[in-house]
Amino acid sequence: MELILGSFGNVLTFQNLTFMFIAMTLGMVAGALPGFSATMAVALLVPFTFTMSPTSGLVTIGALYAAAIYGGSFSAILLNTPGTPSSIGTCFDGYPMAKNGRGEEALYTASFASGIGGIIGTIILIAFALPLATWSLQFGPPEFFWTAIFGLTIISSLSTKSVLKGFTAGFIGVVIGMIGLSPIGGDVRFDFGISNLQGGVEMVSVLIGFFCIPEMLKLASNPRQEHMKVGTISGSRESIVKAFWNVFAHWGNIIRSSVLGALVGILPGAGGNIANLVAYNEAKRAAKDPETFGKGNPQGVVATETANNAVVESAMVPLLALGIPGSPPAAIIYGALLLQGINPGPELFTKNAEITYAFMTSFFVVNIFMVIIGIMAGKYIFKFVTSIPTRVLIPSILLLTIVGSFAIRNNIMDTILMLGSGLLGYILNELDFDSGALVLGLILGPIAEKGFVQGIILGNQISTETPWIIFFTRPICLVLIAMSLLSACWPLFQAYRRKKKAAAAGGAA
Amino acid sequence: MLIKKLLLALAAVSFLVAPASAADFPSAPVTYMIPFNAGGESDIFARAQQPLLEKALGQSVVITYLVGGGGAVGWKELIRNKPDGYYTAGFNLPHVILQPLQRKKAGYTTDQIKPVMLFMSTPNALVVPKDSPYKTLDDLLKAAKEKPGSVVLGGSGSQTANHLGVVRLNKMAGVNISYIPGTGTGDMISALLGKHVNGLMTYTTVAKNYANDVRTLAVATPERLAVLPDVPTFRELGYDLLEGAYRGLAVPPGTPDDVVQKLYEACKQVNNDPEFKQKMDNMGFFLVDMDPAESVKFINELTPIYKGILEELKK
Nearest CA in chain B to A198: B69
B-chain residues near A343 (CB < 8 A): 209
CB contact under 8 A, A183 and B212: no
CB interface of B with A, residues 70-89, below 8 Å: 70, 72-73, 76-77
Question: What is the rounded CA–CA span in Å between residue B289 and residue A303?
Answer: 54
Point out the least confidently predicted range of A209-213, B14-18, B29-33, B199-203.
B14-18
| Pairwise CA distance, residues B98 & B110, whole Å | 9
A-B contacts (CB, under 8 Å): 167
User: So what's the pLDDT on residue A225?
Assistant: 65
Band (pLDDT 50/70/90 cuts) for residue A404 is confident
Question: Chain B interface, mutation test: which of A51, A145, A198, most B Cβ atoms within 10 Å?
Answer: A198
Determine contact: B68 vs chain A, CB below 8 A: yes
Q: Is the peptide bond before A223 cis (omega within 30 degrees of 0)?
A: no
Q: What is the rounded distance in angstroms from the CA atom of residue B160 to the CA atom of residue B101?
A: 13
How far is it, in rounded angstroms, from Cα A40 to Cα A332? Answer: 10
Backbone angles phi, psi at B114, to 5 degrees: -90, 110
Using the beta-carbon criterion (under 8 Å), do B69 and A185 form an inter-chain contact? Answer: no
* Chain A: residue whose CA lies nearest to B282: A341
What confidence tens digit (pLDDT) does each residue in A105-130 have?
Answer: 999 999 999 999 999 999 999 998 88
Q: Which runs of E-coded beta strand occur in A253-343?
A: none
Instruction: Please answer whether residues B292 and B119 qualify as being in contact, where contact means their C-beta atoms are separated by less than 8 angstroms.
Output: no
What gap in Å lies between CA B8 and CA B188, rounded to an integer? 60
Would you say residue A6 has pLDDT above 90?
no
- Which tens digits make up the pLDDT trace of B127-186? 999 999 999 999 999 999 998 888 999 998 888 899 999 999 999 999 999 999 887 787
Residue B43 contacts A, CB cutoff 8 Å: yes
Question: Mind listing the pLDDT tens digit for each residue in A248-269?
Answer: 999 999 999 999 999 999 887 7
Query: Given a cut of 50, is residue A495 above it in pLDDT?
Result: yes
**The residue type at A314:** S
pLDDT at A468 over 70: yes
pLDDT digits 0-9 by tens, B31-60: 999 998 877 888 889 999 999 999 999 999
Q: What are phi and psi of B121, to 5 degrees?
A: -135, 150
Q: How far apart are CA B234 and CA B35, in angstroms?
A: 31
d(CA A123, CA A117): 10
Can you give the pTM of this predicted structure? 0.85
Per-residue pLDDT band for B71 (boundaries 50, 70, 90) equals: confident
Q: What is the pLDDT of residue B6?
A: 54
- Residues with Cβ within 8 Å of A205's Cβ and at least 6 positions away in sequence, in order, are A35, A404, A405, A408, A414, A415, A417, A418, A421
B65 and A409: CB-CB below 8 Å? yes
Does B73 sit within 8 Å of A411, measured CB to CB? yes
Test A137 with B190 for CB contact under 8 angstroms: yes
| Domain residue extents for chain B | 29-121+246-314, 123-219
Residue B12 to residues A303, A451, B25: CA-CA distances in angstroms?
A: 60, 58, 18
What b/e sequence results for A360-399 when a residue is b if at least 16 CB atoms lie within 10 Å of its CB, and e otherwise?
bbbbbbbbebbbebbbebbbebbeebbeeebeebbeebbe
- On chain B, the residues whose CB falls within 8 A of the CB of A185 are 158, 181
In B138-157, the residues whose Cβ lies within 8 Å of chain A are: 147-152, 157
* Coil vs helix vs strand at B249: strand
β-pairing, B244-251 vs B114-129, is: antiparallel
Q: DSSP per residue over A424-474, as a string?
A: HHHHHHHTT--HHHHHHHHHHHHHHHHHHHHHHHHGGGT-SS-GGGHHHHS
Q: Is A389 helix (H, G, I), strand (E, B) or coil?
A: coil
Interface test with B, best of A340, A449, A454 (most B CBs within 10 A): A454
**Rounded Cα distance, A434 and A443, in Å:** 15
Helix A88-97 with A54-79: angle, nearest 10 deg: 50
| Distance in angstroms (rounded) separating the CA atoms of residues A217 and A401 | 13
Q: Which residues on chain A are in Cβ contact (under 8 Å) with B283? A: 338
Element (H, E) at B10: helix B2-17
Interhelix angle A236-248/A103-137, rounded to 10 degrees, is 30
Q: Which residues contact B75 (CB under 8 A, 6 or more apart)?
A: B35, B89, B91, B96, B99, B106, B107, B108, B113, B250
Cβ of B190 within 8 Å of Cβ of A326? The answer is yes
The tens digit of pLDDT for each residue in A354-397 reads: 888 999 999 999 999 999 998 888 888 888 888 888 888 889 88
The pLDDT of residue A234: 52
Nearest to B76 among A138, A183, A195 (CB): A195
Q: d(Cα A421, Cα A404) in Å, to the nearest integer?
A: 15
More confident residue, A404 or B75: B75
CATH code for the structural domain at B29-121+246-314 = 3.40.190.150
When the candidates are 3.90.1150.10, 3.30.160.150, 3.40.190.10, 3.40.50.980, the CATH number that belongs to B123-219 is 3.40.190.10
Q: Nearest by CB to B193, from A137, A269, A332: name it.
A: A137
